[in-house]
């Protein structure tokens, strides 16, 4: 049985090499259909987004890569962009495709009843693999807004056939070390039937595609009452958990800072990740943020989110696995629950502050960011041009 000190040491080992990927688009403006509030200092291009992400990594030490979103982050020379990232101390991570913002996609992209639109959408996905080749990215993330708003609008089953066909074509284009991450979402922007609405659908398609296809769990994409940690445990057991898109929500796909709405849920998820080997040194699970800082400052919002993931992970790592297993084996409901809660109730902030100091970082990244003058500088520099945003 691991003594508490050993558990702390083991936890620190994992926390030291934690890797949380940041989304380039979190640094641009975002909002709701009612209003996008612009913020001063927001990046105007991918180069500036990567600079902001690098600031987050500089202060937290655990966010060494940035995910790109094509076409929002389209540039002429992706190797130059990758070099720019490297110069700033970070790397380019997952490539996110976007087949939902052309007028052609009004009735869907890869599941559109019109074969010409499907052709175009698949073409974009294949282009994304080209970008991956240029940036050295391992993962292609596919989220489809495809779906219907009205019963009868299109044939649910035919859309699955079209989806399978498109996925298969993209899958075949992947290099030997590349993966396809299939993301699911209950609703929005489709309001009747979404074509990949739940983990079961994503899982079934990934199974059919093969080993390089894995599921991406966005923590804000489920029906109310869904037990997300169950899905995590299930997919890890099946070898099909590819990645997380972290964020939190009180209602729908609110895209709030991860851990803000239900920190206990985040802890339970991270506990299942730990339990299922997802924090092992050779893990293939990618941990990414996918959030919208509609009303709060974006860089600080990302720092806080990274810290929230760190804290949940630390707590999950501190669970006394032996005590827990013993209580479970004995059918002692309250003792088993207490073993888990004991870790959750622990204040892990000192542990993480200590880790940062060990790594030569400021123990308080939020304060360090405020003091750094970074925001003042970019607000000053980024005058003129168009702030990045979703362009909806």
State which of residues 229, 286, 316, 317 lies at the interface with a copy of itself (CB under 8 A): 229
Q: Minimal distance in Å, beta carbon 319 to a copy of itself?
A: 8
261 binds a copy of itself (CB under 8 A): yes
- Hey, which residues between 83 and 102 contact a copy of itself (CB under 8 A)? 100-101
113 binds a copy of itself (CB under 8 A): yes
- Hey, which residues between 161 and 180 contact a copy of itself (CB under 8 A)? 161
8 binds a copy of itself (CB under 8 A): no
331 binds a copy of itself (CB under 8 A): yes
Please report, to the nearest 10 degrees, the dihedral formed by the alpha carbons of residues 391, 145, 134, 386 taken in order.
10
114 binds a copy of itself (CB under 8 A): yes
CA separation for the pair 361, 352 (Å, rounded): 11
State which of residues 126, 168, 344, 361 lies at the interface with a copy of itself (CB under 8 A): 344
State which of residues 134, 361, 366, 368 lies at the interface with a copy of itself (CB under 8 A): 366
At residue 215, φ and ψ (nearest 5 deg) are -90, 140
Pair 167, 209: CB distance under 8 Å:
yes
Number of residues that bind a copy of itself (CB under 8 A): 105
362 binds a copy of itself (CB under 8 A): no
Nearer to a copy of itself, 52 or 78 (CB): 52
Pull the structure tokens for residue 336: 């088993």
Fill in the per-residue mask, 122 to 141: x = in contact with a copy of itself (CB under 8 A), - = not in contact.
--------------------
- Which residues, at least 6 apart from 347, have a Cβ–Cβ distance to it below 8 Å? none
252 binds a copy of itself (CB under 8 A): yes
Nearer to a copy of itself, 85 or 236 (CB): 236
192 binds a copy of itself (CB under 8 A): yes
Nearer to a copy of itself, 178 or 194 (CB): 194
- Among candidates 94, 115, 106, which has minimal Cα distance to 25? 94
Q: For tokens 């990274």, name the residue.
A: 306
- Hey, which residues between 283 and 302 contact a copy of itself (CB under 8 A)? 294-297, 300-301
- Among candidates 264, 269, 137, 247, which has minimal Cα distance to 185? 247
Reduced to 3 states, what is the DSSP secondary structure of residue 101? coil
Q: Minimal distance in Å, beta carbon 276 to a copy of itself?
A: 6
State which of residues 5, 176, 251, 383 lies at the interface with a copy of itself (CB under 8 A): 251
Q: Minimal distance in Å, beta carbon 312 to a copy of itself?
A: 11
Start-end of H helices in the chain: 4-16, 46-60, 78-87, 115-135, 156-173, 199-209, 228-237, 263-275, 298-318, 321-330, 333-345, 349-358, 365-372, 374-381
Please state, as a whole number, how many other Cβ atoms lie within 10 Å of the Cβ of residue 11. 24
Q: What is the CA radius of gyration of the chain?
A: 21
């Amino acid at each position: 049985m691991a003594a508490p000190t050993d558990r702390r040491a083991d936890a620190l080992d994992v926390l030291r090499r934690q890797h949380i990927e940041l989304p380039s688009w979190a640094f641009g403006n975002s909002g709701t259909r009612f209003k996008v509030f612009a913020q001063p200092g927001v990046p105007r291009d991918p180069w500036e987004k990567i600079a902001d992400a690098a600031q987050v990594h500089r202060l937290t030490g655990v966010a060494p890569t940035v995910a790109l979103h094509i076409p929002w982050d389209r540039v002429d020379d992706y190797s130059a962009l990758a070099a720019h990232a490297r110069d700033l101390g970070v790397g380019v991570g997952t490539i996110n495709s976007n087949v939902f913002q052309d007028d052609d996609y009004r009735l869907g992209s890869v599941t559109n009843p019109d074969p010409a639109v499907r052709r175009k959408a698949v073409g974009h996905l294949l282009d994304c693999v080209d970008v991956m080749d240029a940036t050295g990215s391992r993962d292609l993330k596919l989220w489809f807004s495809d779906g219907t708003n009205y019963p009868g609008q299109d044939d649910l089953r035919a859309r699955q056939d079209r989806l399978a066909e498109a996925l298969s074509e993209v899958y075949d284009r992947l290099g030997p070390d590349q993966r396809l991450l299939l993301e699911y979402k209950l609703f929005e922007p489709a309001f009747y039937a979404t074509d990949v609405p739940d983990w079961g659908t994503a899982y079934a398609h990934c199974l059919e595609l093969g080993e390089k296809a894995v599921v991406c769990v966005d923590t804000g994409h489920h029906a109310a009452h869904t037990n997300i940690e169950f899905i995590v445990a299930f997919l890890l057991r099946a070898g099909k958990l590819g990645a997380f898109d972290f964020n939190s929500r009180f209602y729908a796909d609110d895209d709030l800072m991860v851990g803000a709405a239900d920190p206990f849920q985040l802890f339970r998820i991270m506990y299942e990740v730990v339990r299922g080997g997802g924090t092992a040194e050779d893990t293939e699970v990618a941990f990414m943020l996918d959030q919208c800082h509609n009303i709060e400052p974006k860089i600080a919002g990302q720092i806080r989110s990274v810290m929230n993931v760190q804290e949940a992970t630390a707590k999950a790592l501190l669970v006394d696995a032996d005590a827990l297993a013993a209580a479970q084996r004995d059918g002692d409901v309250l003792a088993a629950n207490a073993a888990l809660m004991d870790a959750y109730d622990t204040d892990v902030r000192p542990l993480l502050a200590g880790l940062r100091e060990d790594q030569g970082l400021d123990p308080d990244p939020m304060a360090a960011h405020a003091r750094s003058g970074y925001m003042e500088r970019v607000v000053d520099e980024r005058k003129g041009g168009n702030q990045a945003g979703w362009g909806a």
